[in-house]
């Protein structure tokens, strides 16, 4: 097999090293009119091709990735697998207001028409029971809970795992089980992208553990800010926060720190300054399993 990597990112070279195969960056050229030229600079004839590109900022990536997948097939690739640790457009899984596009379903159709298989990490499955409901190609989900639990067990004494909302409970409970730690879940009410209310569901009076907030996606950071404030109100120490997919920019990171989060770490599903937990070995195992004859 060969890995084709989104340019100037770590995922492709790291994945290729774990797979023991060649890696080549996709060569992209943007014309003045906004169109993109894609070039594959390695021979892929007779090879299974793994395209490594996390799908943060997906609107800029989708067309070049589709061009790359089609070019790989035309150049003789036997299969084209997308490794996208962060899978975009999963949160719009219903028509919440009249006239809205259900983008998770549309995005799934586009990727399914472009790639032969998909490998990702903890997609935001809320109303969809599985990726198979919307994706027409085989998909493999790498769970982040074991790696997160291992990091917490190695770096936090007496952790108390805290989920920011009811949706997180099943996943947070698994992290807590693997880390051999207690957990609780907060109640969240979202009134808008920037308006989130979080409060305690369980009494934590007298709790002495080190709170570790665990969330799947950290974008605006408002959920973490509200959760940290709710924990402070109980007299707990400043929490650590762990995000699977952290998309927050500098202003959001500053707001999270200002709210009293002592440390924010993330899995390397999206390249980010907070990356401390790698999932590359697990991604490589999923790729090998998908390409196994």
Tell me the angle at which helices 103-112 and 58-74 cross, rounded to the nearest 10 degrees: 20
CA angle, 80 then 291 then 15, to 5°: 75
Q: Report the pLDDT value the prediction gives residue 125, as an integer from 0 to 100.
A: 82
pLDDT at 194: 46
pLDDT digits (tens, 9 = 90+) for 84-111: 999 999 988 888 889 999 999 999 999 9
CA distances 173 to 36, 169, 210, Å, are 44, 6, 16
Q: Confidence band (pLDDT; 50, 70, 90) for 198? A: low
Residues paired with residue 275 on neighbouring β-strands, in sequence order: 266
Per-residue pLDDT at 189: 63
Integer Cα distance of 227 and 168 in angstroms: 13
In whole angstroms, give the CA distance from residue 173 to residue 193. 26
What is the Cα–Cα distance from 156 to 198, expressed in whole angstroms? 24
Catalytic position from the list 2, 45, 61, 188: 188
Find where tokens 């992209």 sit: 28
Q: pLDDT band at 153, cuts 50/70/90? A: very high
DSSP SS3 for 215: strand
Q: Tell me the pLDDT band of 205, cut-offs 50, 70 and 90.
A: very low
Q: pLDDT tens for residues 12-32?
A: 999 999 999 999 999 999 999
Is pLDDT at 65 greater than 80 in this prediction?
A: yes
Query: What percent of the chain clears pLDDT 90, i.e. is strictly above it?
Result: 77
Segment 175-198 shows an average pLDDT of: 75
* Cβ atoms of residues 220 and 212 within 8 Å: no
**Mean of per-residue pLDDT scores for the chain:** 92
By the 10 Å C-beta count (0-12 exposed, 13-18 middle, 19+ buried), 124 is classed as: buried
Question: Any catalytic annotation for residue 2?
Answer: no
Q: Report pLDDT for 69.
A: 98
């Amino acid at each position: 097999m060969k890995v084709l990597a989104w340019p100037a990112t770590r995922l492709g070279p790291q994945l290729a090293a774990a797979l023991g195969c060649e890696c080549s960056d996709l060569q992209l050229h943007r014309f003045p009119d906004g169109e993109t030229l894609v070039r594959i600079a390695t021979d892929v004839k007779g090879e299974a091709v793994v395209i490594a590109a996390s799908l943060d900022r997906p609107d800029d990536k989708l067309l070049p990735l589709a061009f790359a997948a089609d070019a790989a097939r035309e150049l003789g690739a036997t299969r084209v697998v997308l490794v996208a640790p962060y899978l975009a457009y999963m949160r719009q899984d219903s028509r919440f207001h009249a006239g809205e596009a259900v983008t998770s379903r549309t995005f799934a159709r586009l990727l399914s028409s472009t790639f032969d298989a998909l490998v990702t990490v903890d997609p935001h499955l809320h109303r969809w029971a599985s990726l198979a409901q919307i994706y027409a190609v085989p998909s493999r989900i790498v769970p982040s809970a074991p790696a997160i639990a291992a990091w917490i067990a190695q770096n936090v004494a007496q952790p108390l795992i805290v989920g920011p909302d009811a949706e997180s409970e099943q996943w947070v409970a698994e992290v807590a089980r693997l880390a051999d730690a207690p957990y609780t879940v907060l109640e969240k009410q979202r009134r808008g992208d920037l308006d989130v209310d979080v409060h305690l569901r369980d009494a934590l009076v007298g709790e002495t553990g080190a709170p570790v907030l665990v969330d799947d996606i950290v974008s605006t950071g408002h959920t973490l800010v509200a959760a940290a404030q709710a924990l402070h109100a109980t007299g707990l120490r400043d929490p650590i926060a762990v995000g699977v997919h952290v998309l927050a920019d500098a202003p959001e990171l500053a707001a999270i720190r200002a709210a009293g989060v002592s440390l924010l770490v993330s899995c390397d599903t999206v390249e980010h300054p907070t990356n401390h937990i790698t999932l590359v070995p697990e991604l490589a195992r999923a790729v090998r399993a998908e390409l196994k004859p």
